[in-house]
Amino acid sequence: MVALLSKLATFRGESRFTSWAYRFVVLEVKNKIGRNVWRSRLDALDTEEWDRLPADRAIDPLSQAIQRELISAVRRAVDETLTEHQRRVFVAIVVHGTPLDTVVSESGSNRNAIYKTVFDARRKIRAFLTVNGYLEG
């Protein structure tokens, strides 16, 4: 109710007040639920979750072994090269698939800063994989 009253000045009278209020409430609740759903997923991956990454799609045993080794290397890169903030944001957005706006609202940062954090994390992971021979330079 407080949120609705704070937005009362934005009501332009182009529709019935009750239609506008229902629409506002639906959007407000959707945003609150969306934030709460992802809140618990911002934690680091446990071993079981890393094992569920796409290596299972490999056709032959050699390809499957290579993919598992690459996933293990990416996991090491995340653990060893990223800062705590980069790790938390990278895992939330890239691995868990948390929407960018949810991470922004949870962190109290802005979209550009979170985007830059993910960009820097990916750059560090790629450099780690290149130095250790998993990727070509």
Q: Give domain limits for the chain.
A: 2-40, 44-131
Prediction pTM value: 0.60
Alpha-carbon span 12 to 6, nearest angstrom: 14
CA angle 103, 107, 109 (to 5 degrees): 95
Q: What is the pLDDT along the chain (137 residues), one digit of tens a residue?
A: 777 778 788 878 888 888 888 887 887 777 777 666 655 554 545 555 655 555 555 567 887 788 888 889 999 999 999 999 999 999 999 888 888 888 888 888 999 999 999 999 999 999 999 999 888 86
Task: Tell me which fold the domain 44-131 belongs to.
Answer: Arc Repressor Mutant, subunit A (1.10.10)
Are the C-beta atoms of residues 77 and 34 closer than 8 Å to each other? no
